[in-house]
Structure 1
Amino acid sequence: MLLFFSRFLVIVLLTTAPALVLAQSEPSVIGARAVLAPWSDPIEALGTLQADESVTLSATVTDTIAEITFQDGQRVAQGDTLIRLQDAEEQALLRVAQALRDEQRNALGRSTELQNRNLAARADVEDNQSRLDQAEAEIAALNARLQDYQLKAPFSGRVGIRNVSPGALVTPGMALITLDKLDVMKLDFSVPEAYLNRLAPGLSLSATTAAFPDKVFNGEIASLGTRVDPVTRSINVRAELDNPDERLRPGMLMEVVVRQQPRESLVLPESAIQPDGNRHYVMLIDDHVTSPRLRQQSVEIGERRAGEVEINDGVAPGDIVVVHGLQRARDGQTVRVMGLIDDDTDVRDLLEADR
């Protein structure tokens, strides 16, 4: 019985061996095409946002609030009056000064007419002119003082939350309202001084924040600091980000990636790379034959970024490499290509379609 079973097992193995060899010789793989794409060497940093223009308005005189003309968070235009203080006394003084000016103007007219008839001295005309000039100067001073009783927007922007009410007594230096210009944001961050020779105004960057994890904000470097911090050995950098929808706010923390040395490079998915010590390989798929065949190719890699790697040598644009199924792939082996990944198709899509 044992002899019969052994012979039966040998027969089964001999009849199934070709199928096993065929299955092992043609594994299923998924490929990707090497493409030229924009590339840059990243410099990563943490930055803090500031408004393009920002001010806290305060009073310069002591008086009570007569009127508040804005709502919390309202957008205002340059020159809009935001807060008006009680100015009844100053308005009364202005009317007195205006009346005195009119009186001096009439006196000057009469003395001038008399002097033209040689009925008055020239000195009287000059005295009346001096009194009129003094009255006009007093009016100008009062008008300037009245400006201190109105807090106006120095630029267009969005006001913050007010913490004062009509009737409240304010004093010089008391913070009344904030105003920020938010359509453009300043992003301040620092980088090690070793990168100084690679940075310049106009260099592009991207920034992200935890408040909007799916949004990437693009901008460029506006200016570099003039000094290197002797303690941290870093230099301050200021970038500008467009913020047309005003989602970004002053004080927010942002993760910054500066794209230095921008260039066009050959790019492959990182999953295509097979490391072996200090060397790196890919499995090229020769699709110009009836049965696609693999060829192991040594490559020289450059920088890496999320899910991708820069290829400096060893692969040409348009070459197809294995990105899934490398565990069973061997040099010179024929394979079944399940498909190629691209911007619209990933490995999961191809695997589900092949079921």
Structure 2
Amino acid sequence: MSRKMSIFTAAFVALVVVLIFGFQHVKQGIIADKLADYSPPPVSVTTVSASTDVWVKELQAVGAIVASQGVNVTPQVSGQLLSINFSSGEKVEQGQLLIQLDDSLTQAELESSKASLQLSEVDYKRKKELRKTNNISQSDLDRATAKLAHDKASIKGIETTIDYMAIKAPFSGVVGIRMVNLGDYLTPGQAIISLQNLDVLFVDFTTPATNLPLLKMGEEVKVYSDAFKGSEFSAKIIAIDNIVDQESRNISVRALLDNSGGDFLPGMYVTVKVETEQKNEIIPLPNVAVSYSLYGDSVFTLTKTDEKNATGEFYIYIAERKTIDVVMFKADRAGVSGDIQPGDIVVTSNQQQLKNKARVIVNNDASKQSSAGE
């Protein structure tokens, strides 16, 4: 290749490079100018107007239903199960015979002991008379006296054993599903049946010890259960524990629940709400209006401008994030205080698309139509 051709080729390549970089530079400049002039379309949101209200402080906790009287009926002595005198799930009365163990051998021992007692009584009376005339020694009379007392005690012990073999209901209540069958050999402490008094139940729950000044004996407690959605039950506080749990720093509370309707069973979990006498002036907002964060809770409020959107249908608002404190909850609302005032326009949707100074439009009518359609 000649020198002239080489120079021409190099010049051509340089020209192409200059043109390419020049085009890119012009292109980037145009893009930058466009971006500088670009304004994102306003975000469509729904809102509510903030207003003040007075809420009674409400304590809420998870409670457990406990029987006022409940026990697993067990035998106190060993024996073979001779008869079952109840049906699973039925109501029984205090003192009613539930289980009879085979006491035939013990009954025979009782008869033998009674015969021995009769002989001891005769021997004691005879020796007592002989002692009056000094025909026997005092030690002979003492032995007869001791033998008589021993035989009486033996009979009393056997009668107690026989009574233990007839297992009775310690209190009135409802029995569960029996865990034994005829012919089983039962031992002391073996579970036979669960007996629960279901007419009156306890609702046990815990609450932080800081709430102790808000709790009062006899105060009404509202009880709710997922098993009875939409229903509210009433109980009354009958006991507040005298010690705070060292690990959780909670205090235990017990409320009395009338269960004459038979709605609840021991072991069920319920939601407990206690309305205290403490009143707080707050601003109630829908829960969806609050953005919850480890760094603090907040809401977006809006300031109206004179500008309208491209279609001229809505005014443009400017969003501002404000820090708030959530004082309490009630149903689907949060009672808040902090950097928010009555009359503020508070955003209730699309907060994830907002930041400070973001431009928004308020379209509450569209929200209502959407909700109606759903």
Structure 1 and Structure 2 fold alike (TM over 0.5): yes
Q: Which runs of 4+ in 1 moved over 6 A?
A: 307-310
Task: Check the 8 A contact 1:76/1:156 in 2, yes or no.
Answer: yes
What CA distance in whole angstroms lies between the structure 2 residues aligned with 1:143 and 1:40? 62
1:237 aligned residue? 253
Question: Which SS does the other structure have where 1:215 is aligned?
Answer: coil
Q: Which of 246, 271, 279 is the matching residue for 1:255?
A: 271
2:322 aligned residue? none
Task: Check the 8 A contact 1:222/1:239 in 2, yes or no.
Answer: yes
Q: Which of 132, 142, 147 is the matching residue for 2:148?
A: 132
What CA distance in whole angstroms lies between the structure 2 residues aligned with 1:206 and 1:114? 79
Within a 5 Å distance, the mapping from 1:1-355 to structure 2 comes to 40-116=56-132, 119-261=135-277, 305=330
The one-letter amino acid of 1:172's match is P
Question: Which SS does the other structure have where 2:252 is aligned?
Answer: strand
More strand by share: 1
What CA distance in whole angstroms lies between the structure 1 residues aligned with 2:246 and 2:136? 78
Deviation at 1:104, TM superposition (A): 0.8
What CA distance in whole angstroms lies between the structure 2 residues aligned with 1:75 and 1:248? 16
What CA distance in whole angstroms lies between the structure 2 residues aligned with 1:174 and 1:309? 52
Task: Check the 8 A contact 1:58/1:177 in 2, yes or no.
Answer: yes
Deviation at 1:118, TM superposition (A): 5.5
Question: Which SS does the other structure have where 2:229 is aligned?
Answer: strand
What CA distance in whole angstroms lies between the structure 2 residues aligned with 1:83 and 1:209? 36
What CA distance in whole angstroms lies between the structure 2 residues aligned with 1:109 and 1:102? 11
What CA distance in whole angstroms lies between the structure 2 residues aligned with 1:118 and 1:61? 47
Select between 226-235 and 191-200 the one with higher mean Cα deviation: 226-235
C-alpha change, 1:135 and 1:210, in structure 2 (3 Å) is same
Q: Which string of whole-angstrom CA distances, capped at 9 and with x for unpartnered residues, describes residues 318-353 of structure 1?
A: xxxxxxxxxxxxxxxxxxxxxxxxxxxxxxxxxxxx
What CA distance in whole angstroms lies between the structure 1 residues aligned with 2:66 and 2:194? 13
C-alpha change, 1:309 and 1:46, in structure 2 (3 Å) is closer
Deviation at 1:253, TM superposition (A): 1.2
Task: Check the 8 A contact 1:200/1:223 in 2, yes or no.
Answer: no
What CA distance in whole angstroms lies between the structure 2 residues aligned with 1:212 and 1:152? 35
Deviation at 1:199, TM superposition (A): 1.2
The one-letter amino acid of 2:249's match is R
What CA distance in whole angstroms lies between the structure 1 residues aligned with 2:331 and 2:190? 50
What CA distance in whole angstroms lies between the structure 2 residues aligned with 1:102 and 1:216? 67
Question: Which SS does the other structure have where 1:175 is aligned?
Answer: coil
What CA distance in whole angstroms lies between the structure 1 residues aligned with 2:231 and 2:182? 41
What CA distance in whole angstroms lies between the structure 2 residues aligned with 1:88 and 1:40? 67
Deviation at 1:305, TM superposition (A): 4.8
The structure with the largest alpha-carbon Rg is 2
What CA distance in whole angstroms lies between the structure 1 residues aligned with 2:110 and 2:330? 69
The one-letter amino acid of 1:193's match is A
Deviation at 1:46, TM superposition (A): 1.1
**TM-score of the pair, normalised by structure 2:** 0.58
What CA distance in whole angstroms lies between the structure 1 residues aligned with 2:250 and 2:127? 74
Deviation at 1:215, TM superposition (A): 2.9
C-alpha change, 1:122 and 1:193, in structure 2 (3 Å) is closer
- Gapped regions of structure 1 (runs ≥ 5): 1-38, 278-301, 311-355
Question: Which SS does the other structure have where 1:158 is aligned?
Answer: strand
Q: How many matched pairs? A: 244
The one-letter amino acid of 1:82's match is L
Question: Which SS does the other structure have where 1:211 is aligned?
Answer: helix
What CA distance in whole angstroms lies between the structure 1 residues aligned with 2:181 and 2:334? 60
Deviation at 1:71, TM superposition (A): 1.0
**Amino-acid identity (%):** 32
